[in-house]
A and B are shown apart, each in its own frame.
Chain A
Amino acid sequence: MKPGALIIPLFVAIPLAGAFINSVIGKKNKAISDIIGVVITAVLVVLSLLSVYYVNQSGLIPYSVGSWKPPVGIGLVLDGLSSFMLVTVNIVAFLIALYSVNYMERFTAKFRFFTLFLLMVAGMNGVVITGDIFNLFVFLEIASVASYALVAFGTEKHELEAAFKYAVMSTVGSLFILLGIVLLYSYTSTLNMADMAVVISKSGFSNIIIFVTVLFIMGFGLKAALVPFHAWLPDAHPSAPAPISAMLSGVLIKSLGVYTLCRIIYNVIGMNVVISEVLLFLGAVSMVIGVFLAIGQWDFKRLLAYHSISQIGYVILGIGLWTPLGILGGLFHLLNHSLFKSLLFLNSGAVEHATGTRDLKQMGGISEKMPVTSGTGLVASMSIAGIPPFNGFWSKLIIIVAAVQANRYGYAFWAVLASVMTLASFMKVMKYGFYGKLRAGLESVKEAPFYMQLSMVILALLCVSGGILLLPELRAMFLDSAQTALSQGTGMAASILNMVKI
């Protein structure tokens, strides 16, 4: 066993243990569930940084659960992309847990919130580290089921309605994915992704693989809210409590939708020109339609939700370009989007916490009263709009440069256009929401409590300093290792299987 392999199952076991313990003893005392939630996510952040170190030390790390070698048992795989996603998921989860300590005081049954939250984190970590396709489905369902319940956590009318819509559409997505898994099992007679990739690359690209690819694009597209399948997102994300909106928009749609989609398409089925065209098209359509729908919104959280669709379009566009630079840009944008979009949702939560509204027309001028919230909101808005030197600028720049290099001038144009529209949309938010004259009735507004401020400030600092990940040493360690994991394509499978045999 390679060094560092022992920590891999802990990414699932620790949050699960936290959730189980929390559901037993959390009811007695509120402080206990706060402590469990924050401490466990903090431990996960440390572990995920450790996993980056180990991946750089020894490359790809396979792990066989219960000492059964894949394909007989379930194999877990830690590679550059997994550790990249682990860092993204766990940092955002930690900051959101910190934020929830204050924010969720407004809701009843806080310990159930933290239990579901930890289960969702466990599900996402499980999806990211697994190397077995059915196991991926199981953990995807854990995260999804937890998120259905969390969207409806406030139990108001519109929350229940949004949760139902989300649950049904997401379940349909899961069913398509499961059907795809069944067909792949019948065709390859294995459930291990590496083993599957070897069989598929031997047999070439047949009709059944095309059918499976269509099913996967539909299924994971539903989870990731790509444009023809996006109808649930603008309802579900705004209806959830603010920390959960941040979690859903920030990392859930990425780890359940985008990560799984590109992992399976690149490393199992194998990328080709047709899939690349489809992904580029879906990405561009999501990017443009999302931003056009966002501009007309006056509900702050709804506007942010439409921007999530648009920004996911950027990520898919970058990954669909099928060049190393494009993949790097897409992944970097994924990280950046999870930082600034969760920050924006936390801002909206802080504003709602203080003023009780999220209608931009009824806000206005609260920057005097809430300097931290509006300051961090400004940072996040400039990041999402792509203004230098914030992190969003660098990743969008890389995606556009990659599109130009690949001779996709049309897509580069659309990316620039969507970026300009995003800027316009956030100018509106800043003008009506945070700056300008203080609106009557908001004189008594107070700044958010301490933990909420703390997590917003940390996220803002990460947004400002995001660009340093492009420095050569850091880039080689973090982004490049994630990008090579995808660019290797189905070649990675053989090396996993070789390592397991030894």
Chain B
Amino acid sequence: MVVYVLCLMFFLVGIYCILRKRNIIKIIVGVIISEYAVNLFFLLVGYKSSGRSPILCSDRDVQYMAAHMVDPLPQAVVLTSIVIGLATTALLVAIAMRIYGKYRTFDITKIRELKG
């Protein structure tokens, strides 16, 4: 439970950064931090205390090992979500670099063509 709350705090640090910082790179940093936190949360949820990693080895009985493993589903799902996070980050960085090329700044208070 304490672990979950700490992890949520980690998430909220990122959200705070996205909502309050006025620099494009900082906003991307905030997005990355929040993604990390959600991925971590997924793995925390699947952890089994004193469990072993879900990879079988040849010298033990399968059923015995299966009873002492952590949950493999969150691991599989987190792999997918890490990749999705990377894809989003790459696209955001590309947009940010284009914006920098046009405006010569990363400060979004100076990038205001649109009214909102």
| Interface residues, chain A, with chain B CB atoms under 8 Å away | 134, 137-138, 141, 145, 148-149, 152, 155, 157-158, 160-165, 167-168, 171-172, 174-175, 178-179, 182, 185-186, 191, 231, 234-235, 239
Contacts of B27 in A (CB 8 A): 168
Cβ–Cβ contact A160 & B45, under 8 A: no
Minimum Cβ distance to chain A for residue B24 (Å): 7
User: How many of B's residues come within 8 Å of A, CB to CB?
Assistant: 33
Instruction: Tell me whether A161 and B41 are in contact (CB under 8 A).
Output: no
**CB–CB A175/B96 < 8 A:** no
In the bound assembly, the distance between CA atoms of A91 and B113 in angstroms comes to: 35
Cβ of B111: which chain A residues have Cβ within 8 Å of it?
161
Question: Judging by beta carbons under 8 Å apart, are A191 and B99 in contact?
Answer: no
CA gap between A149 and B103 in the complex, in Å: 19
Using known A-B contacts A148-B91, A182-B42, A185-B45, determine if residue A138 contacts B114 with beta carbons closer than 8 Å: no
State whether the Cβ of B15 lies closer than 8 Å to any Cβ in chain A: yes
Which residues of A are found within 8 Å of B98, using beta-carbon distances? 152, 155, 160
Q: Is the CB of A185 within 8 A of B95?
A: no
Interface residues of B in 22-63 (CB under 8 A from A): 24, 27, 31, 34-35, 38, 41-42, 45
CB-CB under 8 A from A186, the residues of chain B are: 45
Chain A residue contacts of B114, Cβ below 8 A: 158, 161-162, 165, 235, 239
Interface residues of B (CB under 8 A from A): 11, 15, 18, 24, 27, 31, 34-35, 38, 41-42, 45, 73-74, 77, 80-81, 84, 87-88, 91-92, 95-96, 98-99, 102-103, 111, 113-116
Q: A157-B102, A168-B18, A172-B18 are in contact. Are A152 and B95 (CB under 8 A)?
A: yes
Please give, as numbers and ranges, the residues of chain A lying within 8 Å of B84 by CB-CB distance.
138, 141
- Could you tell me the distance between the alpha carbons of A175 and B42 in the complex, rounded to whole angstroms? 12
Contacts of A235 in B (CB 8 A): 114, 116
Contacts of B41 in A (CB 8 A): 179, 182
**Chain A residues whose CB sits within 8 angstroms of the CB of B95 once the complex forms:** 148, 152, 160, 163-164, 167
What CA separation (Å) do A138 and B74 show in the bound complex? 14
Please tell me which one of the listed residues B38, B92, B102, B115 contacts residue A175 in the complex, with CB atoms under 8 A apart: B38
Whole-angstrom distance between the alpha carbons of A333 and B11 in the complex?
37
Distance to closest chain A CB from B101 (angstroms):
9
Q: List 13 A-B contacts (CB under 8 A).
A: A145-B91, A148-B91, A152-B98, A157-B99, A160-B95, A160-B98, A163-B95, A165-B114, A179-B11, A182-B45, A185-B42, A185-B74, A231-B116
